[in-house]
Structure 1
Amino acid sequence: MTTASTLWFTGLSGAGKSTLATATAKALRARGHACTVLDGDIMRQGLCQGLGFSPADRRENLRRIAEVAALMNQAGLTVLVATISPLHSDREMARHIIGAAHWVSVYVSTALSVCEQRDAKGLYLRARRGEISDFTGVSAPYEVPSQEQLQIDTAQLTTEQAVHNVLSTLHSHMSNSSKQEKNRL
């Protein structure tokens, strides 16, 4: 028996979370695994529409995403969540909702300077000018994960190398989950 998992990609805007989650989902589908991507930007256009970027709104945004991921895991889907999720307490809340047995934390640790160079929308520049408040990495904090299961710097690895690392971590997680499940039976 294998356990559907949620891979929670966290990191700064422009770190490569969405790119990596999408590429990993493509690789999983090619191997016959049912999966889906919950991208933070896309979730804010629908289910999380109307939420701002205050700490309370960010927490509610992540709670909703975690609830959806948990439901999808229960249905047998592997879920790849790509969201900044800047605070440790909010990531822990999401982990609690999803369940530790299903949770795989991926910290996309790309440096702020690289993220700013990649910023096609000019969000970092606008945040530095004071035009955007509560912008993670500039005017709002990002708490570096201390218990991630995988750390990836997308400036140091190709997408293919990063996907390989994610798949290896997921395989290890699923193997451990299966062993624990067998021990309970």
Structure 2
Amino acid sequence: MFAPPTTKLGFRHAVVPVGRWGGRRSGRLVMSGLRPSLLRIQAALPGEEPSTESAKRCCDSSAPGTSSRVLSTVGKSTNILWHECPVGKVERQKLLRQKGCVIWITGLSGSGKSTLACALSRELHYRGHLTYILDGDNVRHGLNRDLSFNGEDRAENIRRVGEVAKLFADAGLICIASLISPYRKERDACRAMLSDSSFIEVFLNIPLEVCEARDPKGLYKLARAGKIKGFTGVDDPYESPLGCEIVIQQMDGKCPTPKAMAEQIISFLDKNGFLQA
């Protein structure tokens, strides 16, 4: 008995029947069982050459039903085009049942930024919300491994994290960025990347003496000994936020617990509609 003829659909090792045999006598292929949609799919799959007319409709901006598209220059990139997708931020937020945003935690080294970020992520996870943390040290293990701690590179470090955080927010996630980010100008630039009020600046206002007493990584000790130059709080300034959304600080000389700090931020998110979509 003869096997039905097959054709490749652009996938490695993948084959599907394209019709049915007309019987032993005819010895010919009957195409009546072939669905027109299969032909369209086959033309669009990788490895198959689309028709000239089809390619023209897809790529020619002057074809009927298409609008004129203008190539742009952004920074050092030339001849680039922004491509829109029918699945946008609103659709992704509805799927996740939350609103994408950036929670930017700033403060001195040792103030507890990473601890707060993890506590916040954990509490939101328990409540069924999707988050992602961009930690200042973690991103330097990969994305920003080519950057040093001089002024220019620190500014570029913040810019890159801001751009990535923007993408996460656009994806509908609650992105938690925890970095010293000592300068207002750089934090404000990250805020300006988002077109709405989805940038939430959290100032972890813990006194320098408390942070230095903690010194979890031993960096203050090295800075005081002159082994680290340009260390924030020692020989480099920290510019406190002037109009941040949330300030977390000591109460009666005691620092709040990570859970209490996380609850303060979650309360803000809930009141401002970020935990539903």
Name the TM-score, length of structure 2 as normaliser.
0.61
- 1:129-182 per-residue CA deviation (whole Å, 9 max, x = no partner) reads 11101100001110011111111126421112111101111222336x97xxxx
Aligned with 1:21 (options 85, 98, 117): 117
Question: Which residue is 1:91 aligned to?
Answer: 187
* Conserved 8 A contact 2:99-2:173: no
SS in 1 for 2:273: helix
- 1:42 Cα deviation (Å)? 0.4
Cα offset, 1:100, TM superposition: 4.1
Q: What amino acid maps onto 1:171 in structure 2?
A: D
Q: Distance in 1 between matches of 2:175 and 2:229?
A: 30
> 2:257 — aligned with what?
158
**1:20 & 1:100 partners in 2: Cα distance?**
24
Structure 2 unmatched ranges of 5 or more: 1-93
Does structure 2 retain, via aligned residues, the 8 Å contact 1:25–1:37?
A: yes
Instruction: Tell me, yes or no, if the aligned pair for 1:104 and 1:170 is still in contact at 8 Å.
Output: no
SS at match of 1:6: strand
**In structure 2, what is the equivalent of residue 74 of structure 1?**
170
Secondary structure of 1:152's partner? strand
C-alpha RMSD of matched pairs (Å): 1.8
The answer as to 2:216 corresponding to 1:120 is: yes
Match of 2:197 in 1: 101
Q: Distance in 2 between matches of 1:130 and 1:81?
A: 29
Q: Is the 8 A contact 1:106 1:151 kept in 2?
A: yes
| Alpha-carbon distance between aligned partners in 2 of 1:70 and 1:174, rounded to the nearest angstrom | 18
Q: Which has the higher helix share?
A: 1
Report the Cα distance in structure 1 between the residues aligned to 2:240 and 2:159, rounded to whole angstroms: 19
Q: Does 1:136 align with 2:235?
A: no
Letter in 1 for 2:181: S
Output the CA distance in 2 between the equivalents of 1:174 and 1:59: 32
- What is the distance in 1 between the residues matched to 2:180 and 2:142? 17
Indicate the structure whose relative CO is greater, using CA pairs within 8 Å and at least 6 residues apart: 1
**Larger radius of gyration between Structure 1 and Structure 2:** 2
TM-score, normalised to structure 1's length? 0.90
Instruction: Give 2:272's aligned amino acid.
Output: H
- The answer on whether the counterparts of 1:109 and 1:153 sit within 8 Å (CA) in structure 2 is yes
The letter for the 1-side match of 2:125 is R
